[in-house]
Each structure stands twice: as C-alpha cells, then as structure tokens.
Amino acid sequence: MAIEQLFDTPLHFLQHGISKFGTGNVLLAVLVTATLGILADYAWMLYLRSKMPPGPLPLPIIGNTFQLPDTKPWIYFETLSKKYNTPLITFWIGRNPTVWINDAWTANELLDKRAGIYCSRPRMLVFAELGAGQYNLVNMYTTTPAERDRFRIQRKLMHQGVGIQQVKKYRSFQDDESKVVAYDMLTTPENYVAHFERYATSVVSIIGFGRRVADSNDPIITDVIAVMHRAADLNVPGKSFPMLMETFPILAKVPTEFAPWKHGLGARRTTGRGHDFFYTLAKEANDNPGHDDCYVKMLFKEAPKYNLHPCEISALSGNLFGAGSDTSSSTLITAVLAMRAFPETMNPAWEELDRVVGSDRSPSFDDDANLPYMRAFVKEVFRWRSVAIIGGQPHAPVQDDYYNGWLIPKSTWVQGNVWAIHRNEREFPDPDRFNPNRFIKDSPDARPFPGERGYMTFGWGRRVCSGQALAEQGTWLTIARLVWGFRVGPAFDASGKPIPVDIFDYTNGLNMRPQPFKVTFTPRSEAIRETIIREGKQALSDLAQFNGETKYRMSTFYKKQAAS
C-alpha cells in the first residue's frame, strides 16, 4: 500500500510520526539536522577562507558582521590591512565574503587593468533589490550578454549627457553659476554650504531639465540632497538595520508593512502607471517648450530606439543629481575646510593667481594650463578627503579570479577603500596634511602613483563615476575662483576666541562630507570685491534664460500618489 494511502493528510502523517517517535525525538532529529547543516556550511566558509586573502576568522552564519565598528568602517579596514600587512582583506558579511582593496597599485591591477572581469555588481539586497533595482545603471549586473548590452546602452546614454566631450559644452553656464556662488558669498558667507548645494544642483538641473535652481531654499535641493545622503548611508556595511538584512536576507522577505526594520525600503513608490518622481520631473521638462538640447529631451527622443522603460528614464535622470549635486557640493565644503586648516597653502596660490589672472577678472577655464599650483591644489582636495570614500558601489568579478595566489570567487563583493588608498604613507607621506606640492611635477613631495590623475576619487574601470569630467571641470573653476576672491579665516565665539575646526569630523555615509563648521570669507581686495559684484550681476543676467519652476516636490509627490 502506498504511503499516501496510509495517511489522509500531511498533518495526519506528521501527528502519527510524532506520536510514534515522540516529540523529543523529532525535535532532536531536527536539531541534529540543523546542526549538521550549519557545520557543513561553516566548513565551506573556512575552506573558502583558506584560499582567499587574509582577514579575521568568521563565525558561522553571521561571519564578521558584528566586528564592524559603529561608524566609518573604512578606517577599520585600513587598520586590518596594516595588521595583516596585505593590500587585500577578506571580511565576511554573514555568509558572503567581501574583499577590501587598500592599496592603489592593487586597485589599479584588479579594477582598471582587469576591468572586463570586475565590471559587474554583486547582489546588493538593501541598496539595489529593495531600492532602485536593475533599471539603474549604478546597480546593473553584467554577467550575461543581455545584461551587458543593457549596461552599454545606459552607459552610452549617460555619456551623451556628461561625457568628457559633452561637458565642455556646459562651461558657459557652469562658469556663470560659479560666479553667482562668489557673488552670494559677499552677502551671506555664513550660508556657504547652501550656496554650494544650490550651485551644484543648479548645474545638473540645467543639463538635465533645462531649468536652473535659483534659490538655495528651492525644495528640490533639500529633497535631492536628503535622498542622496540616504542612498549613501545604504552603501556602508553595518551591523544594525536596515544593513543587517545583508547578513540575514531572509528578513527582507517579510512584507514591508510588517517589517519596521526595512525602514520603508521595498515599498511601492510609483504611480499606477509605474512612474516615479524623477520620471515625472523629466516628463514635465520634456513637455515644456524650449531648451531642446537638455538631457531628458534626448532621452525621450531616443526611448523608442533603445526601448527605454520609464524606470530607466527615471534612473538616468535621477543619476544626474547623484553624479553632480551632493558629491560636488561636499567636495567644495572640504576645500573650504582645507583653506581654513592649512592657510600656508594659500600663499603660493595667491601669488600664481595674481600673476596670471589679476584682480580685474576672475579665473576662467582658459587659465587652467597657466595655473599649475591651482591645479595641484584641486587635486589635493580630491585626494585629501575623497567624497566617495569607499569608491562607490562594490564591484563583482564575472568569473573566479586570482591575485598573488589568492582566490577572489565569482560574484564576490570587491570594495575599494579610497580612505586607505589615499592615506598610504608610501604614496602620500604625512597623509592628513593638506599639501598641494604632492601634485607638482618634480616636487620633492611627489611620489609615483598609478594613473595620470594621481587620485582614485571617482572609482575604476567600467564602473567609474559617469559624472567625473563634469565634477572635475566645475570643481577646479569654483575652487580657483574662491581662492582668488577670498581669504578664509576663523570664526569667533562670544568671547572673541577663534573657533577651531576638526579635519577628522566627517559624516559616516558613503559620500562623506565635513560636519558643519564655521569660517569667515573676506574679499582679498576692494578691486576683487568689485569684480565679483560685476561678474555676478552679469552671470545672473546670462542665466535668466534658464529660469523656471516645477510644480512637483519630492517631499509631497509620493504622499499625493498614495492618496489618489
């Protein structure tokens, strides 16, 4: 007789089994089976660990997750690299190993020279699966031909917006927006952070949507910056929710409404037609007359050719802000911190600027070749406190790879520790000292470094930041203009004492920036002050063609969609 004929239902079978063998025996069997499974899994982890780069011993199931520090894990991984005397460290997030690269030459070998292998992304539960997903270029896998084709299409479209040659066309309004920053500094220097955020957001808004952001209180600034900060937080390994879901992915399967640890991730944030905020913003700009050369109009024009999904248009449009708003403004804030903390670096810059530029005009893009110290100054800003401190999202090899005899398995998280790379004493002696001479040719302070730029701020290989050229172009000009125009001095407390600044007091997100600090901005001369005013007024007049408003606000958009 078949066993299914002996018992009417699975429940009947279970009850009969428990009564026959006893509850204790069944539980013991379950416990033994589970223990053997855990031991077998742990044996596999230890076997893999023996072949991979060194690192702390992982525990079963949880790996090294709870050894993570509460903040700034990149410092911890730098310490581990020194402890094990190796450029590569393996650290287990749950059952998944992450390889951390802490050396410039190793990063160059793996992520640049072997870019074809390290071109994909690993599974990112929190940031990708519960967030932007595979419609976003930032997260895309490239393990299959179809995935690689889609990646190339989006990468091509992104280059049409902010590629090296394309960004040269933006120099005119980028220059004008930079002049407005200097002009605003004369009246409200205490709001320098807001001025930088307005500038950076406005530049990418003109590029993307044909509309500038004229007011530092424009909601799109605070909304977008807040989203970028949140996204940056979701890329930092953590031992608390929501990042703890990377260690225990089963927790992500609980419906969002019953899972407070998701922090709202995984919720449906689209309209009934599948359109979200950035798509709606792009559609609005596409429907508005004028500015036919803006990026979103190109996307809508090319959409049928490339079969673009609305979510892809949304992601490409939104990525402009990610590539150019938060990161660029954070870099400018770091530049001000360096000016305040290392005033001795300003004298060579002023001498060069006074000799080449004078006081009747501010620096322009054409001055770049004649301002080698200013170029070195900006490079040192990028090196000293890089914004994308762990090099952006992790890479993942599309096949097993070996480096110095160590195995790096297919799909492993591979993360570049830019903090450690830019603080290696071999390339950058006394790394916390801001020293532009590191980037002066034939200077005693210069050291060999892979790549012509001398820093790795924008990532590597096929996953290098799409907005690199735009950021480098605008950052150089704006810093040069600020150095030319102002002396950055200490602010004073109520008793008249200078308020110190802390060069280590930075935020904890992937895109780090200095915590708020106070300084003063003073025009270097009356002639320079008059030039700033004259150029600022003219810039506002030139930028008037981009004035306009949007009826959408991110802070209310999804609430309205949910209510409708």
Burial class (CB in 10 A: 0-12, 13-18, 19+), 100: buried
The structure tokens listed for 347 are 């004298």
**Nearest in space to 449 (alpha carbons), one of 177, 103, 170, 73:** 103
Partnered with residue 522 across adjacent β-strands are 487
Cβ contacts of 349 within 8 Å, gap of 6 or more: 373, 374, 377, 436, 483
In a 3-state reduction of DSSP, which class is residue 9? coil
498: phi then psi, degrees, rounded to nearest 5: -60, 135
CA–CA distance, 339 with 190 (Å, rounded to integer): 15
Cβ contacts of 258 within 8 Å, gap of 6 or more: none
Which DSSP symbol is given to 520?
E
CA–CA distance, 277 with 284 (Å, rounded to integer): 11
What is the number of residues in the chain? 564
Beta-carbon count within 10 A of 549 CB: 9
298: phi then psi, degrees, rounded to nearest 5: -65, -40
Partnered with residue 407 across adjacent β-strands are 402
CA–CA distance, 430 with 424 (Å, rounded to integer): 9
The b-or-e profile of 522-541 (16+ CB within 10 A means b, else e) is: ebbeeebbebbeebbeebbe
CA–CA distance, 111 with 121 (Å, rounded to integer): 12
260: phi then psi, degrees, rounded to nearest 5: -60, -25
The structure tokens listed for 521 are 């901005």
Binding site per annotation, positions for heme: 465
Binding site per annotation, positions: 465
